[in-house]
């Protein structure tokens, strides 16, 4: 449904200099995307540079119309069917594109990841553990890559009298099956599960998109299982993201002579749960109630308050903040302590600078000035 707010959510997240974290800070500041867009031109002008370009309304409407034409659902962070666990991470995508059964996104989900170049035993194990967990009422999520991912999806769908459900999270547009050898699997998941992506319709495979995709695989899940992966694998990146998100990480041990087992073995050394069967997972997951968080702990659920900025002192505050920043990373807490300015004023000025392309938020939401 093409509402004005959905159009503006899409315009906001598609604009340059705005990523998910900045998006939610704008929503927190102005209450909704429509109000944020009204204020952005003045913020960019005040920020000092004009590198910011707002995504055109015409393009946003065309993108929504294309989704409707292709039968693709657009799920915004405001929608009831948006994954509630995913909303608990700071950089949750404001928009998801979906093909399939949206009800699966808020059921009990466990993700399985691993190498594309999987061994026969690795593929057999991932298929069996997916089957067994599906039989226990869990939905299996993975990235639809060949190897461990594909085996996990297939094992899940074979469960429950061949009516098992699974979720595929793509690093391409939701309408682009990748790899092409998994086109039949793609069609089967579309019929019997759901395929989701944050990337625009028609997005082809691009290396930088797959690490971004991985935070969604871990973010929608209560836990993540790593079957086979080398120490530089994207699966280890997904495991690290899962830990940062407070998810449980499980790893399947393997031979020290097989490089494909080096990643899970390393995770076990670092404290991941060693697993041999589904009960090793269920004994942890079913006892874990840490995800029962209130709505106030989730991104995008902001009570709209009137923005109060002291215009008489804002110019002075800008100078104080700019003087406190350089090309070294600092945290927001450090800026608050150093400047002794109200947090609302600091956030507003940082947004100005970010929209103007003068500020970057790095890993851990650290802040650095672009000189």
Give the pLDDT band (50/70/90) at residue 367.
confident
Mean pLDDT of 327-348: 85
Find the range with the poorest average confidence among 197-206, 208-217, 349-358.
349-358
**Who has greater pLDDT, 348 or 143?**
143
Q: Alpha-carbon distance 164 to 104, whole Å?
A: 11
Share of the chain above pLDDT 70, in %: 90
pLDDT > 90 in the chain, percent = 67
Minimal CA–CA distance to 148: which of 263, 2, 6?
263
Residue with tokens 């836990």: 223
Give the pLDDT of residue 307: 52
pTM: 0.87
Of 231-240, 274-283, 305-314, the range with the lowest mean pLDDT is 305-314
Q: Distance between alpha carbon 71 and the CA centroid of its chain, in Å?
A: 23
Q: Which CATH number fits domain 4-70+311-369: 3.40.50.720, 3.90.380.10, 3.40.50.1220, 1.10.10.10?
A: 1.10.10.10
**CATH code for the domain defined by 107-168+210-294:** 3.40.50.450
* pLDDT confidence bin for 95, thresholds 50/70/90: very high
pLDDT at 296 over 50: no
Cis status of the peptide bond prior to 370, with omega within 30 of 0: no
Q: Tell me where in the chain the CATH 3.40.50.450 domain(s) lie.
A: 107-168+210-294
The dihedral built from the CA positions of residue 6, 7, 10 and 11, taken in this order, carries a sign that is negative
The pLDDT tens digits of the residues spanning 50-75 come to 567 899 999 999 999 999 999 999 99
Contact 211, 241 (CB under 8 A): no
- pLDDT, tens digit (0-9, with 9 covering 90-100), for 74-89: 999 999 999 999 999 9
Residues carrying CATH 1.10.10.10, the chain: 4-70+311-369
Average confidence (pLDDT) over 288-295: 50
- The per-residue pLDDT for 304 is 45
Residue 48: partners with Cβ closer than 8 Å, 6 or more residues away: 353, 356, 358
Examine the pLDDT at 14 and tell me if it is beyond 80. Answer: yes
pLDDT tens digits for 96-132?
999 999 999 999 999 999 999 999 999 999 999 999 9
CA 165, CA 158: separation in Å to the nearest integer? 9
Q: What is the DSSP letter of 153?
A: H
**Residue 22 and residue 34: Cα distance in Å, rounded?**
15
pLDDT category at 294 given cuts 50, 70, 90 is very low
Cβ proximity of 265 and 259 under 8 Å: no
Does residue 282 have a pLDDT over 90?
A: yes
* pLDDT digits 0-9 by tens, 147-196: 999 999 999 999 998 999 999 999 999 999 999 999 999 999 999 999 99
Measured between alpha carbons, how far is residue 36 from residues 22, 23, 29, 94 in Å? Answer: 11, 9, 8, 14
Buried b (16+ CB within 10 A) or exposed e, 287-301: eeeeeeeeeeebbbe
Q: Where are the alpha helices (DSSP H) in the chain?
A: 4-14, 20-30, 33-47, 57-70, 120-135, 148-162, 183-192, 209-219, 234-244, 262-269, 278-285, 311-324, 332-339, 343-355
Alpha carbons 351 and 320: distance in angstroms, whole number: 15
């Amino acid at each position: 449904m093409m509402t004005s707010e959905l159009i503006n959510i899409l315009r906001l997240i598609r604009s340059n200099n705005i990523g998910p974290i900045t998006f939610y800070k704008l929503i927190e500041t102005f209450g909704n995307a429509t109000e944020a867009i009204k204020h952005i031109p003045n913020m960019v002008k005040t920020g000092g540079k004009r590198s910011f370009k707002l995504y055109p309304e015409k393009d946003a409407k065309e993108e929504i119309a294309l989704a409707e034409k292709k039968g693709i659902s657009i799920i915004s962070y405001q929608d009831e069917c948006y994954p509630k666990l995913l909303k608990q991470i700071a950089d949750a995508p404001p928009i998801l594109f979906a093909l399939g059964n949206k009800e699966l996104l808020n059921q009990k989900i466990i993700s399985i990841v691993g190498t594309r170049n999987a061994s026969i035993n690795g593929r057999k194990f991932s298929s069996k553990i997916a089957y067994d967990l599906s039989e226990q009422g869990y939905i299996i999520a993975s990235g639809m890559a060949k190897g461990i991912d594909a085996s996990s999806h297939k094992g899940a769908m074979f469960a429950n009298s061949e009516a098992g459900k699974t979720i595929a999270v793509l690093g391409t547009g939701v309408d682009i099956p990748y790899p092409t050898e998994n086109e039949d699997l793609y069609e089967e998941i579309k019929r019997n599960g759901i395929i989701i992506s944050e990337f625009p319709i028609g997005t082809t495979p691009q290396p930088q998109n797959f690490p971004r995709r991985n935070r969604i695989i871990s973010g929608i899940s209560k836990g993540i299982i790593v079957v086979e992966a080398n120490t530089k694998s994207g699966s280890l990146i997904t495991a690290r993201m899962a830990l940062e998100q407070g998810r449980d990480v499980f790893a399947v041990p393997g031979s020290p002579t097989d490089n494909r087992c080096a990643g899970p073995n390393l995770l076990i050394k670092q404290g991941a749960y060693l697993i041999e069967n589904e009960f090793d997972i269920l004994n942890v997951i079913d006892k874990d109630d840490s995800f029962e968080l209130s709505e106030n702990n989730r991104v995008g659920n902001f009570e709209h308050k009137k923005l109060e900025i002291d215009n008489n002192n804002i110019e002075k505050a800008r100078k104080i903040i700019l003087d406190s920043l350089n090309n070294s990373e600092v945290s927001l807490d450090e800026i608050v302590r150093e400047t002794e300015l109200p947090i609302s004023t600091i956030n507003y000025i940082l947004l100005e600078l970010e929209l103007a392309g003068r500020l970057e938020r790095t890993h851990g939401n650290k802040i650095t000035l672009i000189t």
